[in-house]
Amino acid sequence: MERIEHRACFGGWQDVYRHRSEVLGCDMTVGVYFPPQAEKGPCPVLYWLSGLTCTEQNFITKAGAQRYAAEHGIILVAPDTSPRGNDVADAEGYDLGKGAGFYVNATQEPWAKHYRMYDYIVDELPAWVEADPAASDARAISGHSMGGHGALTIALKNPGRYRSVSAFSPIVAPSQVPWGEKALAAYLGPDRAAWAQYDATELVKSATEKLPILIDQGQADEFLDAQLRPQLFQAACEAVDHPLLLRMQPGYDHSYYFIASFIGEHIAHHAAALRA
């Protein structure tokens, strides 16, 4: 493990690490923000999953989350969005391959060898983070777009593992939209039954834990109707009485300006659960 960035930020430290991932079979970069409270004892951790085309840099440089993490004493962990390296498979286009891991364990060639982002986020990354005495095992998860899909599906599939979950502009029904159909077909094959295990709108129907979900969605989001379709998830939640607060925010698009505008409220939402 190597620390490759170390910058003072709101009384704490914004670091970036490179570490070996055995699950992914490559080196990975991860942004970790340590709030000032981490110098005095273990702090809870919010895992942030970024969207298509992102690395760890997008969130740590654009969201402005560190100010709120410092207020609430929360460690922020922002991993890269796919395996990386010259021997890792890739594809034309921004929505498949590197930068587009979709937080699944691929079963199809040429992806299966490295594209195991689900196991990386659920198991390997927390084990690495929590080996640091500054981090406790109280976890929350959030993300944006493809990362919102990751946060929702991972929380729904792992009852008891996360104290809270939220998402910005998530892909809530990947089996029903072009981004998801392309990625799930490539990574999991043509059998749509396999896709359901990574589709929040399907998973919520049988969720055993009623973890309240906070979603913010911009009404001026350029991907809203074609790729995101939050109403599909809202209807599924209503059908099974799963607690969901879906906030449609007038004027906001899909960008990090939107995330920066509401990240403080999301971190307060997570802090209430993590510090309860």
Residue ranges that bind ligand LAXINWYW, judged by CB under 6 A: 51-54, 58, 62, 94, 144-146, 254-256
Min separation Cβ 182 and ligand LAXINWYW, Å: 12
As a whole number of angstroms, the distance between CA 130 and CA 160 comes to 17
Min separation Cβ 38 and ligand LAXINWYW, Å: 26
Residue number with CB closer to ligand LAXINWYW (89 or 167): 167
Active site residues: 145, 221, 254
Residue number with CB closer to ligand LAXINWYW (54 or 134): 54
As a whole number of angstroms, the distance between CA 188 and CA 115 comes to 11
Min separation Cβ 23 and ligand LAXINWYW, Å: 22
As a whole number of angstroms, the distance between CA 103 and CA 165 comes to 15
Residue number with CB closer to ligand LAXINWYW (14 or 145): 145
Listed in sequence order, the residues at least 6 apart from 193 whose beta carbon sits closer than 8 Å to its beta carbon are: none
Residue number with CB closer to ligand LAXINWYW (37 or 169): 169
As a whole number of angstroms, the distance between CA 54 and CA 37 comes to 28
Min separation Cβ 195 and ligand LAXINWYW, Å: 17
Token output for 203 = 């998973």
Report the chain's C-alpha Rg in angstroms. Answer: 17
Listed in sequence order, the residues at least 6 apart from 1 whose beta carbon sits closer than 8 Å to its beta carbon are: 17, 18, 19, 20, 128
